[in-house]
Chains A and B, each alone.
Chain A
Amino acid sequence: MSFDASDAVLLIPAAAAAALALLPGYRITARLNVLATLATFVAALSMLWARPEPGLYLRVDDLNSTFIVLTTFVGFTTSVFSASYIGHELETGRLTPTFLRFYHAMYQVLMFAMNLALLANNIGVMWVAVELATLTTVLMVGIYRTHEALEAAWKYFILGSVGIALALFGTILVYMAARPVIGEGLAAMVWTNLIAHAAAFDPALLNLAFVFLLLGYGTKVGLAPLHAWLPDAHAEGPTPISAVLSGLLLNIALYVLLRFKMLLAVNPAALAPGPLMVTLGLISLVFAAFMLYRRRDIKRMFAYSSIEHMGIIVFAFGMGGPLANFAGLLHMTMHSLTKSAIFFAVGHVAQVKGTQRIADMGGLTETNPLLGWGLILGVVAIAGMPPLGIFMSEFLVVSSTFVRSPGLAIILVFGILVGLGGLFLRLNTIVFGEPRGPTAEAKASYVPLFAHLALVLMAGLYMPAALVAWFENVAKLLG
């Protein structure tokens, strides 16, 4: 087997994880972490051109290379943010050097697991990779070892494990459906074979499999009513992990779900997965939008905002068709960039104020103008105000829905507006008014924050034709 880009995006994080587990010292390890994620990102970029042949385990196509580029990019910027964030945590003594070593190693293991889940051409490997990603994030969420962190980790663990167990049952059922057509053995778990023969599968078995997969991987996407782990896990872990969870891991689970949706779409007798996804998406959106009003913890608030946006994305993919898929892909990309930027800002805000309680923050624009305005810009973007990228993608989702079923579009717009109100209400307390709490200077690296926001702004103003063509192509692939 020759060495190519798809091996590189797996081998670099794996090697870096081993090295980081052994190396002492904060300065070296933080830099090595950044370097490794940068190298992975470069390797991922090369995947856009070089396409290795699909094998029994790995494959590269337009769909997953899009996801991988996004994942490795946000992974890289988050590692830059993490370097300054973790430095502060060490100074305040919330993390000990031993845990720091563990943290960096786990960060790379997580990158490895996510890349493996995206590259997998085998539904069994895909499942193992998602499990690995879940495990590493559980360990990271509990890293502070406070009451809250342990409870959050435990809850995430149990709910995530149940989700993963249901997903495995679905995977077994897909194999059962494929076996009579493809034959026994490894070939019947290879995704490229499955999609080629899916039309001949037993539709009833495939339907049942999809229900289990939707419940199982849907738990990991954070769809209501399976979302209970998500706010706790986001609130209690280190903020770089909140950024990666929201910006990337939810996408990975969604990607896996989309792969199985494509299988069902090929089989004419199988049930249409669209309505199921549309319903779950709308429930998540409206539920999370209302929940935003009662949040007192800043990270939990943005966790609910993530549920809201995952709802919109799942809704868009559930509607299907080239335009809605395009909108869904764009929204997913924009949400990843914006939400991780918001968590970059929130992480430093929480460090300056020494708390995550919204009531103890205030007047951020006066005391820390750069941070305050960065947060405002992020929230304005995530709320879907023009001219930023999320406005574009939400507008596309809404307009494409209005054409096909105006009733659903009204619920969609209602949910988005309710969410917007909730976000601005809380933002007002945080950034304006009398300064409250400590007002120390933030030792922050603003580059990742503003780089993400600049990309989101650019996408809202002008999308390069090549990028549009690329997304259109992927949207067609999704059917």
Chain B
Amino acid sequence: MSSLQFDIAHLLAGSLVLISFMELYQDRLYALLNVYAMHALVLALSVAWQAFVQDAPHLYVTAALALVFKAIVIPVALHRIVVQLGIHREIEKVVGVGPAMLAGMGLVALSMVVMLRVTHDSDPLAREDLAFALSVVLLGLLMMVTRRNAVSQVVGFMSLENGLVLAATGAKGMPLVVEISVAFSVLIAFIVIGIFLFRIRERFDSVDLQAMDRFRGERR
């Protein structure tokens, strides 16, 4: 692999980590959805680049899926849900921006240390890709625990899942990547339909998960 190919792959994967950080400090739902759309767009580019570099045409399917479904359909759908539920106010956070960013940096450092040490025998691209992918996964998890709002938790989960797709495409020649990305898209579609159909707002008056906690079976 030429160094240019490597650099571009590296750049795209690195941008994904950066955008994950951007998601962490968004405090408006619309802005968060826009940043997520960008996240998915960069993922689509990254996967398409891997498809080109690895000469694996089936990966273009995954890239197209990321582009159409995750970067366009899902953000638009969530946007409409946010409008319908009237929750475009500020996002409540459990921890502030500062601590969240610090924790995020710690997680990235952790994944670099763990992955680079463990994979020293693998080829450099897969190695760096995996380290970045683990960072994106951990940042997605962090986002899920620092947010109370159901919509932003879903965004956290979706960026976590983008990290997994990045890892799967980075692992050269991995079979079933397309199937797995389809399975994940189905899962996400279910989540979004879940928010929409079950009309969490109607039932709980708020998508705030803290409000749901009242209904724990044993506090009746």
Which positions in A face B, CB cutoff 8 Å?
122, 124-125, 127-128, 131-132, 135, 138, 142, 145, 147-148, 150-154, 157-158, 161-162, 164-166, 168-169, 172-173, 175-176, 179-180, 184-186, 188-189, 202, 204-205, 207-208, 231-232, 235-236, 295-297, 300, 356-357
Which positions in B face A, CB cutoff 8 Å?
114-115, 117-119, 121-122, 126, 130, 133-134, 137, 141, 144, 150, 153, 157, 160-161, 164, 167-168, 171-176, 179-180, 183, 186-187, 190-191, 194, 198, 200, 203-204, 209, 212-213, 215-218, 220
The chain A residue sitting closest to B157, CB to CB, is A161
The chain B residue sitting closest to A152, CB to CB, is B217
How many residue pairs, one in A and one in B, have C-beta atoms under 8 Å apart?
126
The chain B residue sitting closest to A123, CB to CB, is B176
Bound CA span A338–B201, Å? 39
- Contact of B187 (CB < 8 Å), options: A131, A188, A202, A231: A131
Bound CA span A122–B176, Å? 10
Bound CA span A145–B117, Å? 48
Chain B residues near A189 (CB, 8 Å)?
A: 174-176
Least CB distance from B20 to A in Å reads: 14
The reply to whether A128 and B180 form a contact with Cβ atoms under 8 Å apart is: yes
With contacts A158-B157, A162-B141, A176-B122 known, is A148 near B194, CB below 8 A? no
Bound CA span A35–B164, Å? 40
Least CB distance from B207 to A in Å reads: 10
The reply to whether A158 and B144 form a contact with Cβ atoms under 8 Å apart is: yes
Interface residue SS majority, chain B: helix
- Contact of A150 (CB < 8 Å), options: B137, B179, B187, B200: B200
With contacts A147-B204, A162-B144, A208-B118 known, is A175 near B164, CB below 8 A? no
With contacts A150-B203, A154-B200, A296-B218 known, is A202 near B121, CB below 8 A? yes
Chain A residues near B144 (CB, 8 Å)?
A: 158, 162
With contacts A154-B212, A165-B164, A232-B217 known, is A124 near B198, CB below 8 A? no
Least CB distance from B123 to A in Å reads: 9
Chain B residues near A202 (CB, 8 Å)?
A: 118, 121
Least CB distance from B76 to A in Å reads: 22
Bound CA span A175–B180, Å? 14
With contacts A128-B183, A142-B198, A154-B212 known, is A172 near B174, CB below 8 A? yes
The chain B residue sitting closest to A297, CB to CB, is B217
- Contact of B191 (CB < 8 Å), options: A157, A176, A296: A157
Top 5 closest pairs, chain A to chain B, by CB: A184-B173, A124-B176, A186-B175, A147-B215, A204-B118
Chain B residues near A147 (CB, 8 Å)?
A: 203-204, 212, 215
Ordered by A's residue number, 15 sampled pairs between the chains whose C-beta atoms are within 8 Å are A124-B175, A131-B183, A135-B187, A151-B204, A153-B194, A154-B212, A165-B157, A165-B161, A169-B167, A173-B130, A175-B174, A189-B174, A202-B121, A232-B216, A235-B217
Bound CA span A232–B172, Å? 40
The reply to whether B174 and A157 form a contact with Cβ atoms under 8 Å apart is: no
Bound CA span A179–B194, Å? 38
- Contact of A297 (CB < 8 Å), options: B118, B212, B218: B218
Least CB distance from B171 to A in Å reads: 5
Which of B167, B174, B198 has most A Cβ within 10 Å? B174
Which of A151, A185, A204, A300 has most B Cβ within 10 Å? A151
The reply to whether A128 and B179 form a contact with Cβ atoms under 8 Å apart is: yes
The reply to whether B160 and A162 form a contact with Cβ atoms under 8 Å apart is: yes
- Contact of A205 (CB < 8 Å), options: B119, B133, B203: B119
Bound CA span A131–B190, Å? 12
Bound CA span A63–B11, Å? 46
- Contact of B190 (CB < 8 Å), options: A135, A168, A232, A296: A135
Bound CA span A189–B177, Å? 12
The chain A residue sitting closest to B186, CB to CB, is A135
Chain B residues near A165 (CB, 8 Å)?
A: 137, 157, 160-161, 164
Chain A residues near B160 (CB, 8 Å)?
A: 162, 165
Bound CA span A158–B154, Å? 8
With contacts A154-B200, A158-B157, A168-B164 known, is A205 near B217, CB below 8 A? no
Least CB distance from B183 to A in Å reads: 5
Chain A residues near B164 (CB, 8 Å)?
A: 165, 168-169, 172
Chain A residues near B191 (CB, 8 Å)?
A: 157, 161
Bound CA span A124–B213, Å? 35
- Contact of B172 (CB < 8 Å), options: A127, A148, A173, A179: A179
With contacts A162-B144, A169-B134 known, is A154 near B194, CB below 8 A? yes
Bound CA span A352–B216, Å? 23
Chain A residues near B216 (CB, 8 Å)?
A: 148, 151, 232
Which of A154, A179, A189 has most B Cβ within 10 Å? A154
Which of A147, A169, A180, A188 has most B Cβ within 10 Å? A169
Chain A residues near B174 (CB, 8 Å)?
A: 172, 175, 189
- Contact of B173 (CB < 8 Å), options: A172, A173, A179, A205: A179
The chain B residue sitting closest to A206, CB to CB, is B118
The reply to whether B194 and A176 form a contact with Cβ atoms under 8 Å apart is: no
Which of A125, A158, A300 has most B Cβ within 10 Å? A158
Chain B residues near A164 (CB, 8 Å)?
A: 187
Least CB distance from B89 to A in Å reads: 21
Bound CA span A189–B171, Å? 12
Least CB distance from A146 to B in Å reads: 8
Bound CA span A161–B212, Å? 19
The reply to whether B217 and A184 form a contact with Cβ atoms under 8 Å apart is: no
Bound CA span A185–B190, Å? 30
Chain A residues near B141 (CB, 8 Å)?
A: 162
The reply to whether B194 and A157 form a contact with Cβ atoms under 8 Å apart is: yes
Bound CA span A162–B217, Å? 23
Bound CA span A169–B168, Å? 8
Bound CA span A173–B217, Å? 39
Chain A residues near B217 (CB, 8 Å)?
A: 148, 152, 231-232, 235-236, 297, 300, 356
Bound CA span A296–B212, Å? 19
Least CB distance from B136 to A in Å reads: 11
Which of B161, B191, B203, B217 has most A Cβ within 10 Å? B217
Least CB distance from B166 to A in Å reads: 10
- Contact of A185 (CB < 8 Å), options: B118, B133, B175: B175
